[in-house]
Chain A
Amino acid sequence: MKFKLIIPLLLFFVLVGFLGKGLFLNPREVPSPLIGKPAPTFTAPVLGDATQSFSTEEMKGKVWMLNMWASWCAACRDEHPLLVEMLKHDIPLYGLAYKDIEADALKVLEVMGNPYIVTADDADGTIGIDYGVYGVPETYVIDKAGIIRYKQIGPITPKDLREKILPLLEELQA
């Protein structure tokens, strides 16, 4: 049997291997190129109180999480109760209202509880662009040096919280 006749079969198995692996990947997910890079700096008005502002400068030397959300986002609503829980456990959660109408965002916080230490207002989405936000909710874990260490795409699940986020926060706080 000539060797060259097996080549199609071999190539095919390589292909099947990749396709099989592909079943466990998510082609729609866009990983962030910002992991390991400095979090983009910004100063933004506080949601509901334009006289106050929030700046990433304030967070230097602290470990914190930035959660991008909006009142028009259903998945954010699903995630919300978990965030409220997280705040109860002293997790440093800061919010960014992404492309939202102030009144609507404040309403959500009023009705569902406010899980954020401070919420900044990104009404036109420019901060979001700098962070590579393409679909809320998205959450970043940022260390004391201001470097992004982790990005959660989509709602935070209890599993991710347990297995990825909490251990990371612990490590960074040390």
Chain B
Amino acid sequence: MIPDIGHYALILALLVSAVQGVVPLAGLSKDNAKLFAFATPAARIQSALIILSFICLDYAFYVNDFSVLYVANTSNSNLPLMFRLAAIWGGHEGSILFWVAILAVWTLAVTFFAKELPLRFRSTLIAVMGLVTVGFLLFILVTSNPFERLIPAAMDGRDLNPLLQDPGMVFHPPLLYMGYVGFSVAFAFAIAALLDGRLDVTWARWTRPWTTAAWVFLTLGIALGSRWAYYELGWGGWWFWDAVENASFMPWLIGTALIHSLAVTEKRNAFKAWTVLLAICAFSLSLLGTFIVRSGVLTSVHAFAVDPGRGLFILVFLALVIGGALTLFALRAPSVGIGEKFDLISKESLLLSNNVVLFAATGSVLLGTLYPLIIDAMGMGKISVGPPYFDTVFVAIMVPGIFLMGVGPIARWKKATVPELASKLKWALIVSMVSALLMPSIMGKLTPMIFVGLLMAFWVMSSVFVALKTRLNAMPKNTLGQKLKSLDRAFNGMLIAHFGMAVFIIGVTMVKGYELETDITMKVGETKQINEYDFRFDGIKLVRGPNYVAKQGQFHVSKGGKEIAYLIPEKRLYPVQGAVMTEASISINLVRDIYISLGEALDGGGWSVRVYFKPFVQWIWAGCLLMGLGGFLTMIDKRYRMRKNKGASI
């Protein structure tokens, strides 16, 4: 019964979203307010229906309804409740329903929080989102129906892939999708601007908070995914440049460029066409990612079941949406109104140079991800493009960008001079150089990569302090406390986000530069010393989980006689899928992780064990958290509070 309701709700939603997508746009040429008025109610109804449908499917998981094929494929009655509910996005059909449900959430948000936009513009916005919704609903109903029945119902389900049975599964996809899908709002803003002929400072001001919101979610979603991979996969890796990782990272890169570009457009009414193009690109990359994950054109650990038929559908949809958007862009991109003056060296130009770097960096990720496909499609054989490529090329391109990141916040709007910048920053340069040499001397190893990484990180940190100091000095006389209080959120957000990036870079540099990996064999009762830490192996304990059995290693870690950690890595067997999982055990600390993973039982009673030392690895995700926090602060700055009485002003 309930799954049927969910199914019918989707069909209804399709009809309503078609109305939402078509009717307001039909009213554009005649400026027909009656047609515009359809947008909001249609959007709210359709969104409610989709969310209802999603709840119906999750209910099927909740009650273990194995007459629903998708539930039978992805769940199991022994699966803990939290994972049963999260399993809804563990497979293709459910996750694409989730995609469209998140789109519904954003659509609702627009109908509630964008009331101050003029009716015509708002309706166009909502209509565009409606058209995207139509495409996805069609895709679901025609090729990927999660409510398909299994008759007779299965006795029990095939279980969720054990790798996914982790709290990370509960939070990572929602955050990621909120980000990924959220760029549809920026996209809709861009299309609405092109259709409407309105593209000005006000437009930029409206678009910014929505874009930043999506960006914050995406930042957190990617960070969580990375951290989850780190502790789950058992070999301490946290980024693999896998096709699907890249598919989420590219919208992030362009989204970052977009946030910075919007700043220029808002301030100077300039580079509007470029900003609009970026907004289209960001969402296009989201759609491209959706295609890559579900079509089988690239190998990936994340890929859902491969189905070229579905891939073709998404590709056609992609071609229509993006092709349509880019055609509209070619026809309507503003060719008049160059905006206001700013110098070759200024905050504005530095913000735009951020765009140049991010654009090239995104290009490297896109090229690297698709190149195997391109070479194969041209019949030139099969190659692999993996971490060695990305670590070299991507990083090389980002280095100048990070350097500029130190200069941008210091530069004045409109006109900055090199002597002025140099004098403000020379202190920062000295401090960062010294710090970049200090750390390695403590750690006992220096390589060019480590030096450059730390230099960049400390450079950005110093520049954050210089920017803060400059701003405080420019304020009228007051106590430090009062001054700090009166700083606006947008400024604080920028400082925190940039600082977060520096923290991130320190994490990456330290881990890559100083991590240690040791394979040892241990017999029960044996103690071995690695890196000044003593590891004592106390044997294996058999442990039982809700849906698995495990061999749990007991390790006591001490340093200089003092016990530091008790680590319990496991080798788990999940009987339903017959899968063996390695669960690492980690001792976390501000300056290092100690990470243990069980290898194999050896003849003679010992075990092979892998021990990792990961210095500063948690800084990677702490940095991302700070970036997200910074973004959030800029979003809630007073200037974006849309006041009802101000209404629409040019």
Contacts and interface: CB of A to CB of B under 8 A. Distances in A.
A24 B377 CA distance: 9
A13 interface: yes
Interface stretch (A26-34, A57-65, A139-147): A26-34
A16 B315 CA distance: 7
B331 interface: yes
Given A16-B318, A16-B319, A18-B374, A9 B382 contact: no
Contacts of B331: 1
B333 interface: yes
B277 A18 contact: no
A166 interface: no
B312 interface: yes
A27 B298 contact: yes
B376 interface: yes
Contact of B322 (A12, A27, A28, A31): A12
Interface string B284-318: 10000001000111110000000010011001001
A26 B150 CA distance: 30
Contacts of A28: 299
Interface string B329-348: 11101010000000000000
A20 to B, nearest CB: 6
A78 B326 CA distance: 49
B561 interface: no
Given A24-B308, A27-B372, A9 B377 contact: no
A21 B323 CA distance: 18
Contacts of B326: 8-9, 12
B420 to A, nearest CB: 34
A23 B330 contact: no
A111 interface: no
B347 to A, nearest CB: 26
A72 B343 CA distance: 70
Given A23-B295, A25-B377, A31 B382 contact: yes
Contact of A5 (B298, B329, B376, B382): B329
A31 B381 contact: yes
Interface in B362-413: 370, 372-374, 376-377, 381-382
Contacts of A12: 284, 322-323, 326
Contacts of A21: 377
Contacts of B329: 5, 8-9
A44 B323 CA distance: 59
Contacts, number: 71
Contacts of A25: 297, 373, 376-377
B327 interface: yes
A19 interface: yes
Contact of A19 (B281, B315, B327, B333): B315
Interface string B210-236: 000000000000000000000000000
Nearest to A9: B326
A23 B323 contact: no
A2 interface: yes
B191 to A, nearest CB: 14
B299 A27 contact: yes
Contacts of A2: 335
B312 A1 contact: no
Interface in A1-57: 1-2, 5-6, 8-9, 12-13, 15-16, 18-25, 27-31
Given A18-B373, A21-B377, A27-B373, A9 B315 contact: no
Nearest to B273: A5
Contacts of B295: 19, 22-23
A28 B330 CA distance: 38
Nearest to A31: B382
A9 B330 contact: yes
Contacts of B308: 23-24
Contacts of A15: 370
Interface in B502-539: none
A55 B190 CA distance: 69
A29 B376 CA distance: 11
Contacts of A6: 330
B377 A23 contact: no
The 7 A-B pairs with the shortest beta carbon distances in the complex, nearest first, are A22-B297, A9-B326, A21-B377, A5-B330, A23-B308, A22-B373, A27-B299
21 contacts: A1-B330, A1-B331, A5-B329, A8-B277, A8-B330, A9-B329, A12-B322, A13-B323, A16-B315, A16-B318, A18-B370, A18-B377, A19-B295, A19-B315, A22-B295, A22-B377, A23-B295, A25-B376, A27-B296, A29-B382, A30-B382
